[in-house]
Amino acid sequence: MRLLEGKIGLVLNIANDRSIAWHIANNAIRHGARCGFGYLPVEKMERRVRRAMEEGGFGNEWLFPVDVGRDEDIERFFGAARREFGRIDFLVHCLAFANKDYLRVGRFLATPRDVFKQALDISAYSLIALARGAAPLMEDGGSIIALSYLGADRAVPGYNVMGVAKAALESTTRYLALELGDRRIRVNTLSAGPVRTLSAMAVGGIEEVFEHVQRKSPLRRNIDGDEVGKAAVYLLSDLASGTTGQTLYVDSGFNIVGL
C-alpha cells in the first residue's frame, strides 16, 4: 500500500544522496508522493542536488533555489511552488547551519553573538518562515516535519550552539502545532540518531558518538538514513492524523538510556 498516493510536498534541503532529506524524499516518492525541492543558491549546489536526485530516480522533479535566511527568497519559492503545483500536502524541513569552528568540544563558551544568531535563524526561525509560506497552500490541511537531534534535550559534547538551535526548533514545532491545528495542519519533529551525513561529520568527536550509541542503545547499533525516511512517511501520511506537536525519536532507543 502506498501511503502518500496523490500527495504533493516540498522538501528542503538535500545535500547529497546520504543526507536525511534525500532518504525522506526517496521514501515519500516510493509511497506515491510528488515532491518539489529547494536548494541553497550557491555555486555548484544545484549540480550536486540534481545529481543526488538522479541517483534516487527522481531527477526530473521540480527544483527551485531558496536561501531561507532571506524572506524575499522564501516568498519567491512558495510563489513558484503555487504556480507549479497549485497546492501542497506536506513540507519537510531538513535545514540547519552553524559555523563548524564552534562545533568542537570546549568551544561553546567561545560562541560569538553572530554565530549564535545565524545558527538560530537558519536552524529554527526558518521553520516559522517556511510554515508561513506553506500554510496557504495546504488548503485541505497537511503535515509539516522538521529534523532534530537528542542534543536539543541533552548537552552533547561538541554539538554546542547547534543543540541550542535544535531546542528552539522543537519548541517552535510545538507552538506552530498549537496555532495551525485549527487549519488541520500537523507539525512534528523527527529526532534522528547520528547518521554519516555531511553535517554530522562537521561535529567534533562524532566518531566517539557513533561508537557510544552502538555500545549503549537498546538495539546495539546506529541507525541509517532510510529508517528516518520511513518514519517520516508515517508522520506525513494519514496514519499520523491524530499526532501533532510531538518529537518522534529514531535512534535505536538511545534517548531512553540513563547509563
- pLDDT tens by residue, 240-256: 999 999 999 999 999 99
pLDDT in tens, 67-121: 999 999 999 999 999 999 999 999 999 999 999 999 988 899 999 999 999 999 9
User: Tell me, what's the pLDDT at 159?
Assistant: 92
Per cent of the chain over pLDDT 70 is 97
Largest CA distance in the chain: 52
**Active site (catalytic) residues:** 149, 159
Residues 144-153 have pLDDT tens digits of 999 999 999 9
Give the mean pLDDT of the chain: 94
CA distance 102 to 116: 10
Grid coordinates standing for 141? 490541511
pLDDT tens, residue by residue, 155-183? 999 999 999 999 999 999 999 999 999 99
Beta strands in the chain (DSSP E): 8-12, 34-39, 62-65, 90-93, 142-148, 185-192, 247-250
In the predicted structure, residue 20 carries a pLDDT above the cut 80: yes
Measured CA to CA, the distance from residue 194 to residue 196 in angstroms comes to 7
Average pLDDT over residues 197-203: 64
| Cβ(16)–Cβ(198) below 8 Å | yes
pTM above 0.85, yes or no: yes
Cβ atoms of 144 and 93 closer than 8 Å: yes
Q: Which three cell numbers stand for residue 143?
A: 503535515
**What is the rounded average pLDDT of the residues 46-64?**
93
Hey, what domains does the chain have and what are their CATH numbers? 8-256 (3.40.50.720)
Q: What is the pLDDT, as a whole number, of residue 143?
A: 98
**In this structure, which amino acid lies at residue 144?**
I
